[in-house]
Amino acid sequence: MITQVHTLIALVHDRPGVLHRIVTLLRRRGYNIVSLSVGRSETPGISRLTLAVSVDDATQVVKQLDRLVEVIGVADTTDAATVVRETALLKVKAVVTALTDIAEQTLAAGGRVLDLGPEEVIVEITDAPEKVEQFVAAMRRFGIAELMRTGRLAMLRGRTPRVLEAPNDYRAQADGAPTEEAA
């Protein structure tokens, strides 16, 4: 069976050590993390995590993550209708004769030129991971001095599945409604 990159989305409590526990669990089980992005969600106290992991079957990864106390919910979105984006910053070596070509290719790919230096140009692109990879490959002919990629960010299209919704007590706090303790 060929190893596939699976995209998982998880809702986790925003507390110190949560990311360490998740990464440690994956490391101990021998799962290869392709990318990991985490940040605040729409609900205070909860973060949304996008994890790309290289495994034959993500079912076991989902089960293991779901057992962690800090994980509120996790879903494998690999085969679901999902918007997936990645951002890359590239510092491209730019001789004067190549500046126009670099700028044109960047704009054609939907990217932006952020900084024009005397010897290097910094460009940015945000798109599907495959498109970002194609753009990076196209820039390699000029010479890449530095490259930084964010990793995948993913969001399911349509209604958010229940497993990825914040618990009612957290949603009430986000909406400004009094919680049971405050009432």
Q: How far is Cα of residue 34 from the mean position of the Cα atoms in its chain?
A: 10
Task: Catalogue all structural domains in the chain, each as residue range(s) with its CATH number.
Answer: 4-80 (3.30.70.260), 83-149 (3.30.70.1150)
* Whole-number pLDDT of residue 33: 92
Phi, psi (deg, nearest 5) at residue 159? -65, 140
Q: What is the largest CA-CA distance in the chain?
A: 69
107: number of Cβ within 10 Å: 12
Confidence of residue 3 (pLDDT cuts 50, 70, 90): confident
3-state secondary structure 100-134: HHHHHHHHHCCCEEEEECCCEEEEEEEECHHHHHH
Tell me the CB-side half-sphere exposure of residue 11, using CA atoms within 13 A. 19
- The pLDDT, as a whole number, for residue 56 is 84
pLDDT tens readout for residues 79-130: 889 899 999 999 999 887 788 899 999 999 999 999 988 889 999 999 999 9
